[in-house]
Amino acid sequence: MKVRTIKLLKKILSSSYPISIKSLSEYFNVSTRTIQNLIGEANEYLETLNYGLIKNIRGKGVFIEVSLEEKNEIVKNIFLDGYFFLEKEERELDLLLSIAFSQEPIFLNKKEKEYLVSKSTMDDDMRKLRKKLSKYDIEIISNGKHGCIFEGSERSIRMMLFDFINKEIGTVELTRKTRAQLSINQQILTKYIDDEEFEMLLNILKEFFKNMDDEMYKKQILLFTLIWVYRLRKGNSVGSMSLEKMEESNQNNEIEEYILLVIESFELEVNQIESNYLKFIIMSLNTESLDNSINWVNTQIITIGLMKYVEEVTGIPFHKKEEKLYESLYNHVSSMISRVKSGVQVFNPILESIKNNYSEIYKAVEDFVPQIESLIEVEILESEVSFLAIHFSTVYMHLREESSLIFKSVVVCNHGIATSNLLAASLRKWFPEIDVVAVIGSQDLFLINKLDADLVFSTYPIEVRDKPLLVVDPVITEDNLVPIKEFLMDNNQFGRLKINNSDYTEMFNEIISVINRNNQTVNVADYNYLKELFRNNSLKINLEEIQPMLKDKLKDNNIIMNGVVNSWEDSITMVSQPLLEEEVIAPNYVDAMINSVKEHGPYIVIGKHLALAHARPEDGANSLGISVLKLANPIEFGNEEMDPVKLVFCLAATDSYSHLNIMKELVSLINDETRLEKLAATDSKEDFKNILFEENLNN
């Protein structure tokens, strides 16, 4: 067999599901015809073994339908026939893991014999591996009788191994597979990670993190703990770390007990620095362990901005699932910021799938990410971008399930314009979801890839790239509808959302606003009556979109004009008074706001001359409320870029969503310096309200 055929066979054998010809073509960077030829050659070899052949399963891809035992026998026979060897990338991985984890010295001349390669090939492998490690500031050097070793920061070495294993092998599984189920790279890892020790650590992790729902993070914790154990075994440890602050603010007995049991089970001698280091990494990976109070406002600003941007760019109505998207995205952004700033970025094993299948969403998120990077001053890698895109993609799929789809289509006909138009009209008649965007003849085929279309219907065979094609009869009758139905079902992923405009949420909100503007209060009974009235008249409203606006909550009594204070602490105390009097917050909420700034710095200064005082809901927020203080004399909070502060808002919220509209308006305000200057300049409460609520001034 050719080397490429062996690679193809190994790829198909290592997969537990069918792989499309197109995917294989892209993976090996060859034409689909070449892939089919390679499959033919592989099948000729498989026939000699009297096992199942590679078959093309319609609509799914190619697959070898054999049992695990038979697959194992095929792997064994390939090896016995001299075909099973490590390719360049696999040799690089084996070299890396052997240097990282092996208790024996690693000498390149011995590796040459093991790999059955020449010295020049080995030198070339090492050059390429060194180049890959250079971005981590890590070098491989030959250290005499100690063989090849890594030179660089041990923390960098561990993060490099974490990143490299995730990329080259994928996430470690929470169940041990048989050898026949493992890919070649996974089999390489098993050379250096003992099966029994893997099982032992797996059982410890399952016991201590049984209440953690996120399987991905469990896998990442498992992998990093393995790296930690095996690097310690080789005598490599991190230097001193400044983790005292983390230790004080993030006590987590569960993680500490997990680490102690790992140390005991693996019989390790570990100092306090190493224990703190592993706890720090696990807390960075474990979203449930994070204390994100300092990021509460900035994370919401990022989340709101990202949601708005992606919807504007893609045109997908994510606001219809705003609550679902906001809560999941907010939690992820919060944990991501904490991890990334700590130097931990998680690899996404389905990165390429997200980029290919949700390219429009991924690109929109990718374009927004520099705004996040500028705030946290850290580069965000592709995998982290794809995790953000997954939240949007998940909501997008829910929207697709609940909405009608349309298929923008091109009709190609070589029977004249009248027949072409008849075919287009027939497609629309029988299939209203088909939106014919163009009808072209044989001389205009070059236009197909330039048109914004998803599918192609043609009356004769043509060659089309990147768009599904169905050859149909010029005249469609009931007798030939089935192939078209199947074609649409098979290509459902190309359908676009048909936006349903019969959403009366905006009308509902406007009715509420009109009542409020006329100094009337909408009580719970009236509110529920309105909802029921809309429902009974088939006027659909999205309950997730109905939250109070800034003007609904910021009443005259909550606006303090020209307050005089001596310190930033006094400004927080003063702006809190209206909410204390209304029992929206408890006294301990004020203490929590002040103590948080003392501990973390002036992070509440979120815009030019504007501070947003807040604490966590559990610190004493009784209900949703907001107040504002316009200072007579600006006060310094310690933020060189945004000081002095002229406006101080105080926000109390009991959850992560009910205040979303208020946050949207505040985000808009901090991006509007002209409006901020007008607010700071006026002494009239009425004018202040008009400017804040963006109403026209009556000069």
Torsion angle (degrees, nearest 10) of CA 187, 191, 193, 197: 100
Long-range Cβ contacts of 265-274 (<8 Å, 24+ apart): 265/200, 265/201, 265/204, 266/197, 266/200, 266/201, 266/229, 266/233, 268/229, 268/232, 268/233, 270/232, 271/237, 273/237, 273/238, 273/239, 273/240, 273/241, 273/243, 274/228, 274/232, 274/237, 274/238
Cα gap 166→568, rounded to integer Å: 47
Q: Any alpha helices (H) in 116-194, and if so which ranges?
A: 119-134, 154-168, 184-190
Give the DSSP letter string of 551-587: HHH--GGGEEEEE--SSHHHHHHHHHHHHHHTTSB-H
Torsions phi, psi of 643, nearest 5?
-65, 160
Task: State how beta strands 148-151 and 139-142 pair.
Answer: antiparallel
- Which residues 6+ apart lie within 8 Å of 18 measured at CB? 57, 60, 61, 62, 63
Sign of the C-alpha dihedral, residues 196, 202, 205, 211? negative
- Which residues 6+ apart lie within 8 Å of 579 measured at CB? 558, 585, 625, 626, 627, 650, 652
Give the DSSP letter string of 241-283: ---HHHHHH---HHHHHHHHHHHHHTT----HHHHHHHHHHHH
**Does 600 participate in catalysis according to the annotation?**
no
Catalytic residue among 332, 391, 609, 614: 614
Six-digit token string for 334: 């919060």
Torsions phi, psi of 551, nearest 5?
-70, -20
| Positions marked catalytic | 614
